[in-house]
Amino acid sequence: MTHTPTPEVTGFFDAQTNTVSYLVVDPATRHAAIIDPVLDYDAVAARTSTQSIDAIMQTVSERDLKLVRVLETHAHADHLTGADEIRTRTGVPIGIGQHITKVQKVFGNLFEAHDVSHDAVVFDETYADGDSFQIGELSARVLHTPGHTPACVTYVIGDAAFVGDTLFMPDYGTARCDFPGGDARTLYRSIQKILALPDDTRIFVGHDYLPQGRNEYVWETSVGAQKSGNIHIGQGRTEDEFVALREARDATLSAPKLILPALQVNIRAGALPPPEESGTRFLKLPLNAM
In Å, how far from its chain's centre is CA 85? 16
Separation in Å, CA 34 to CA 53, 56, 164 = 10, 8, 13
Percent over 90 (pLDDT), the chain:
91
pLDDT in tens, 94-121: 999 999 999 999 999 999 887 775 555 7
| Average per-residue pLDDT for the chain | 95
C-alpha span between 205 and 221 (Å, rounded): 8
Amino acid letter at 224?
A: G
C-alpha span between 71 and 282 (Å, rounded): 26
Separation in Å, CA 278 to CA 252, 274, 286 = 42, 11, 22
pLDDT in tens, 174-214: 999 999 999 999 999 999 999 999 999 999 999 999 998 89
Looking from the CA of 141 toward its CB, the CA atoms found within 13 Å total 11
pLDDT exceeds cutoff 90 at 228: yes
Collapsing DSSP to helix, strand or coil, 256 comes out as coil
Collapsing DSSP to helix, strand or coil, 194 comes out as helix
C-alpha span between 246 and 234 (Å, rounded): 13
In Å, how far from its chain's centre is CA 124? 17
Catalogue all structural domains in the chain, each as residue range(s) with its CATH number.
8-254 (3.60.15.10)
pTM summary value: 0.95
Neighbouring C-beta atoms of residue 238, cutoff 10 Å = 9
C-alpha span between 80 and 266 (Å, rounded): 6
Looking from the CA of 144 toward its CB, the CA atoms found within 13 Å total 13
| Partners of residue 97 on adjacent β-strands | 127
